[in-house]
């Protein structure tokens, strides 16, 4: 079946799913109201840092076009609303833009065209969309920054929300879904909407539990790296569990779904204990580096210079949404900060804070080295003699990288 698939909203979500559709040999059109973005994308100048994304788009350029002319939507057999939902400082998703995009897109859709919502919505959202429900579906997205193309191409399963799960999925949409060769799980709208939140709640729980246990390791002289393999081999938990301790929850996606969960819980104090614990632990872990500096009384000396490697909220992305690095930089306001990141860029100016284009420049003259993100290139750093203290939460550096002279070294879970 010679299908043409449209993606409305070309943020991280839309571009990665469009790339996956083209890789599966579907003709695709990407739509966005931002004409400057469309102009860049038509030159395959991709404004996102995501492994393999630009490569895949260029590889399949004969199947891909980008446009700000929404009248071309009438050429599409399936249309995905694929704009990421923005969040505020509290992690709450702002759905006004998505509602507008859906209502605007509907004006150009043919009577037989299928409409699929990919955006990160909340329970009861789907039923309120005024559209033929037999042609309206919600597809749960489970992308991960830094692995988005891989997960869009090779999903473990595809979760589909329907108005009536007993009615067969429309043939054209089914043809599209079967190209991904994975289990299809059909359920009613509300169940699918809550499934998205449930997945991220379980992930948040794993992250929080790991962070708590890694903190306990510090207090009893245990080593989390020794404990982790034993937990991974427990089939009830598994080798793919979130067992790497980290600096809280960031990136926006998990926070958005925890915020949605809080809305569903409302004022129930007993149920709120869960979401409150997630948020409190995340805030506590984000202050981990700052707490070490404060405990060592390194914040009082104005002559201290800090090298901070990593600005993005995680490796393999240029996203700085709720980044622990940004929070640390803002907490160290007034200190001499030398910053480097392979992809992410500081989006504001701060006195005595300079972002350099190389690691060597960032390490000059500093006594304190802080590695905030486990980028691969940081593994090859050779620590200079001027460094007196290293804070390496993710244990990026190994002994061979550190001079034999005594250097204070801190990491999570040890």
Rounded Cα–Cα distance for residues 79 and 101 (Å): 12
pLDDT at 413 > cutoff 80: yes
Which tens digit of pLDDT belongs to each residue from 353-384? 899 999 999 998 899 999 999 999 999 888 88
Q: What is the pLDDT of residue 326?
A: 92
Superfamily classification of domain 4-187: NAD(P)-binding Rossmann-like Domain (3.40.50.720)
Separation of alpha carbons 398 and 2, rounded Å: 53
Do the domains at 4-187 and 295-410 have one common CATH topology? Answer: yes
Give 145-173 pLDDT, tens digit per residue: 889 999 999 999 999 999 998 999 999 99
Say whether pLDDT at 83 is over 70.
yes
Give the pLDDT confidence of 245-290 residue by residue, as tens digits. 889 888 777 788 788 887 878 778 888 888 888 889 889 999 999 9
With tokens 């632990």, the residue in question is 281
Greatest Cα pair distance in the chain: 73
CATH architecture of 295-410: 3-Layer(aba) Sandwich (3.40)
Q: What residues have CB less than 8 Å from 356, skipping those under 6 apart?
A: 338, 339, 340, 362
Does the pLDDT of residue 20 top 70, yes or no?
Answer: yes
Domain boundaries, the chain: 4-187, 197-288, 295-410
Q: How confident is residue 291, by pLDDT bands cut at 50, 70 and 90? A: very high
pLDDT at 22: 97
Asked if residues 358 and 377 have their Cβ atoms less than 8 Å apart, the reply is: no
> Measured between alpha carbons, how far is 149 from 317 in angstroms, rounded to an integer?
12
What is the per-residue DSSP string for 169-192? PPHHHHHHHHTT-S-EEEEEHHHH
Q: Which fold has domain 197-288?
A: 1.10.1040
Supply the pLDDT for residue 215.
86
Confidence band for 400, pLDDT divided at 50, 70 and 90: low
Q: Across residues 342-350, what is the average pLDDT? A: 87
Using alpha carbons only, what angle is made at residue 128 by residues 95 and 122, rounded to the nearest 5 degrees? 40
Quick one: what percent of the chain has pLDDT higher than 70?
Answer: 99
- Count of beta carbons in the 10 Å neighbourhood of residue 103: 12
- Nearest CA to 14 out of 92, 83, 69, 74 is that of 83
């Amino acid at each position: 079946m010679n299908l043409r698939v449209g993606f409305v909203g070309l943020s991280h979500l839309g571009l990665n799913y469009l790339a996956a559709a083209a890789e599966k040999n579907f003709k695709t059109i990407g739509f966005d109201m931002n004409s400057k973005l469309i102009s860049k994308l038509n030159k395959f100048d991709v404004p996102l840092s995501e492994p393999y994304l630009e490569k895949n788009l260029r590889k399949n350029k004969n199947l891909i076009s980008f446009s700000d002319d929404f009248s071309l939507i009438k050429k599409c057999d399936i249309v995905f609303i694929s704009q990421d939902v923005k969040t505020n400082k509290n992690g709450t998703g702002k759905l006004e833009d998505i509602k507008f995009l859906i209502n605007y897109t509907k004006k150009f859709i043919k009577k037989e065209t299928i409409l699929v919502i990919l955006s990160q919505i909340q329970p009861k959202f789907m039923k309120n969309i005024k559209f033929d429900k037999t042609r309206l579906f919600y597809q749960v997205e489970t992308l991960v920054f830094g692995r988005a193309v891989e997960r869009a191409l090779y999903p473990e399963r595809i979760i589909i929300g329907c108005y009536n799960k007993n009615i067969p999925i429309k043939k054209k949409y089914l043809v599209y879904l079967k190209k991904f060769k994975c289990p299809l799980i059909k359920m009613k709208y509300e169940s699918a909407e809550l499934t998205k939140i449930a997945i991220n709640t379980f992930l948040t729980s794993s992250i929080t539990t790991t962070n708590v246990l890694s903190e306990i390791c510090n207090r009893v002289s245990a080593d989390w790296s020794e404990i982790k393999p034993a937990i991974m081999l427990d089939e009830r938990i598994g080798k793919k569990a979130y067992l790497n301790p980290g600096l809280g929850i960031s990136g926006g996606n998990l926070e958005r779904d925890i915020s949605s969960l809080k809305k569903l819980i409302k004022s129930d104090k007993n149920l709120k204990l869960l979401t409150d614990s997630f948020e409190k632990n995340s805030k506590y872990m984000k202050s981990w580096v700052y707490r070490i500096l404060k405990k060592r009384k390194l914040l009082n000396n104005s002559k201290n210079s800090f090298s901070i490697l990593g600005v993005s909220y995680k490796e393999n992305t240029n996203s700085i949404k709720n980044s622990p690095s940004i929070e640390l930089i803002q907490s160290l306001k007034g200190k001499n900060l030398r910053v480097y990141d392979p992809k992410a860029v500081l989006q504001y100016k701060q006195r005595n804070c300079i972002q350099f284009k190389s690691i060597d420049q960032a390490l000059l003259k500093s006594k304190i080295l802080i590695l905030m993100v486990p980028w691969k290139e940081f593994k090859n750093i050779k620590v200079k003699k001027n460094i007196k203290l290293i804070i390496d939460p993710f244990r990026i550096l190994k002994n061979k990288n550190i001079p034999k002279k005594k250097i204070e070294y801190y990491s999570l879970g040890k």
